[in-house]
Structure 1
Amino acid sequence: MTDVRLARQSWRRLEPVHGMIYFVPEAAERYAALGLKSQAGYFASRGAAFGTASPELVIATFYNFCPTLVRRALPAAWDVTTPAKVIEARLDAVGAALRRAGIHEIPVLAETTAMARRAAERAVEHLQGRPLFAAHAALPWPDDPLLELWHAQTLLREFRGDGHVAALTAEGIGGLDALILHGATGQMPTVFLKVSRGWPEEEWAAAEEVLRGRGLLDGDALTEEGGALRQRIEDRTDELALPAYAALSDDELARLAELARIFGRAVVDAGLLTFSV
């Protein structure tokens, strides 16, 4: 049985290698060169794996963004560029940003990439019910070892994300609800969630009232029931991510978790996850 704790550690510690692409200036610069400004670059770049993704498809799979925000970006993005060009620009930005952080010089890059890729390739055996993951899994593997690591973690991230959406849906927690409950934990500034996800203040306030009525919020804080719900969703998400990490033995998974810390820390120390509101 795959160790759930080690699988979660492996994902969480390596996640900065993927997540930095949503914050680094290299990405915004390359998307702007294609005619994509502001959040249009985000929706087009992450959705390009689907092809000319419709706003409805992105609303469904990204899950927690205000539909109005998505519809401002799509399908208009496909009038000025193509999915293939956006995917190329995204990878170019990834390489530039990770090299700026010195990730390519870490001696255990090849070892870490090999294990992360094995896990990602095992995940491909479990495509059902994972639409965003499946779209990215259909993309070719990069030849550059640095980009290969990023792609592996991208697949593992989207595999886990699709499972998380399933867990939220099963618990009757919509995208806006999930944001509010996340903000109530104190793990992420609520102001960042509001600005980045684009929900109008009145809709946010109305959803808070509904969650209070369900006994999940007390003021702006989670109730005991709300905390238990959040934990249940996280635990179920961890379980749904396990098929990927079953590709590794417990010793290998422990090693991946150990090495992932090196890469995640390097990304954070280089300031690649800095954001402003």
Structure 2
Amino acid sequence: MTDLRLARQSWRRLEPVHGMIYFVPEATERYAALGLDFHTGYFASRGAALGPASAELVIATFYNFCPTLVRQALPGAWKIVTPEKMIEARLDAADAALRRAGIHEIESLAETTALARRAAEKACEHLQGRPLFAAHAALPWPSEPLLQLWHAQTLLREFRGDGHVAMLLSEEVGPLDALVLHAATGSVPTVFLKASRAWPEEEWAAAEERLRERGLLAGDELTERGRELRQRIEDRTDELALPAYAALSDDELARLAELARVFGRAVVDAGLLAIAS
């Protein structure tokens, strides 16, 4: 049976290689060159794999953004740029940013890419119920090893993400409820979650009260019941991501977890995950 702890380590340590695309100026600059502002560029670039996606489709698959924010971006973005252009711009931005971090010069790039790609390709055997992942899985693999690594981790992220949404729904945790619970852990600044997801303050406050009534919050902090719920969702999300990592032996998975630390650290040290003020 695939080692759950190693699978989670592999994903978490390598995740900065993908996640940086939402913060780096290389992405913002390329989207702006196509005529899109920051938020429109985000929704159009990540949603481009779905084709000229409607706001409703992105609201459903991205899950936790205020619908009003999404509707300000889509489908209007597709009057300015095609999904194909957005995919191209996103890849170009990823390439430039990762090169700025020196990822292309890390000696173990080929080995890490090979392991991550095997896991990502194994995930592609499990498309059912994972719409955002499936859309990205249909995209062609880039030819450059650096972008192959980025694409592999993109697939693994969306594979896990679709499973996470399924868990939130099964636990009756709505999109705004999920954000409030996340904020209560203290792992991400509340001000960032509020600004990036753009829910009205009164709706945020209503969600807090709703979660207090469920016994999940006490003030602004998680109760024991709230912590248990969060942990149950995270644990089950990890379990649902395991089919991808079943492609690797225990030794290979341990090796990927070891190598991933180097790549994730390089991204962090280069400041690619810095939140713009």
After TM superposition, the score normalised by the length of structure 1 is 1.00
Which amino acid letter does the alignment assign opposite residue 41 of structure 1?
G
Q: Which residue of 2 aligns with 1:39?
A: 39
Note the 1:136-155 alignment, pairs <5 A. Answer: 136-155=136-155
Gaps of 5+ in 1: none
- 1:89 corresponds to which residue? 89
Is residue 261 from structure 1 mapped to residue 261 from structure 2 by the alignment? yes
Matched residue SS, 2:61: helix
**1:38-91 deviations in Å (ceiling 9; x for gaps):** 200000000000000000000000000000000000001001000000000000
| Equivalent position of 1:79 in the other structure | 79
Amino acid aligned to 1:133? F
Tell me which residue corresponds to 2:161.
161
CA distance in 2, matches of 1:143, 1:276: 31
1:230-273 Cα shifts (integer Å, max 9, x gaps) = 00000000000000000000000000000000000000000000
Distance 1:207 1:99 in 2: 41
Contact 2:119/2:245 (<8 A) preserved: yes
Taking only aligned residues, the RMSD between alpha carbons, in angstroms, comes to 0.5
Give the match for residue 25 of structure 2: 25
Q: How many residues align?
A: 277
Query: Following superposition of structure 1 onto structure 2, how do residues 1-277 of structure 1 map, counting pairs within 5 Å?
Result: 1-277=1-277
Inter-partner Cα distance in structure 1 for 2:83 and 2:276: 28
Distance (Å, rounded) in 2 between the aligned partners of 1:11 and 1:243: 13
Amino acid at match of 1:87: I
Give the Cα separation in 2 of the matches to 1:229 and 1:19: 25
Deviations 1:126-170, CA, capped at 9 Å, x for gaps: 000000000000000000100000000000000000000000100
Q: Distance in 2 between matches of 1:78 and 1:199?
A: 24
Separation in 1 of the partners of 2:35 and 2:53? 17
2:3 and 2:72 map into 1 onto residues whose CA distance is 42
Tell me, in whole angstroms, the C-alpha distance in 1 between the residues paired with 2:111 and 2:93. Answer: 23
Q: Distance in 2 between matches of 1:252 and 1:134?
A: 25
State the percentage of identical aligned residues: 82
Instruction: Work out the CA distance in 2 between the residues paired with 1:38 and 1:131.
Output: 24
1:205-246 CA distance string (max 9 Å, x none) = 001000000000000000000000000000000000000000
Equivalents in 2 of 1:38, 1:4: separation in Å? 36
Hey, what's the Cα distance between the residues in 2 that align with 1:121 and 1:92?
Answer: 22
- Cα-to-partner distance string for 1:192-214 (whole Å, 9 max, x where unaligned): 00000000000000010000000
SS at match of 2:172: coil
What one-letter code is carried by the residue in structure 1 that aligns with 2:51? G
Does the CA contact (< 8 Å) of 2:23 and 2:276 recur in 1? Answer: no
Alignment partners' CA distance in 1, 2:216 and 2:276: 29
- Measured after TM superposition, the shift of residue 2 of structure 1 is 0.2
Letter in 2 for 1:123: A
Q: Which ranges of 4 or more aligned residues in structure 1 deviate by more than 3 Å? A: none
Q: Quote the Cα distance in structure 2 between the aligned partners of 1:6 and 1:200.
A: 39
- TM-score, structure 2 as length reference: 1.00
| Amino acid across the alignment from 2:38 | S
**Cα drift, residue 276 of structure 1:** 3.1
SS in 2 for 1:125: coil
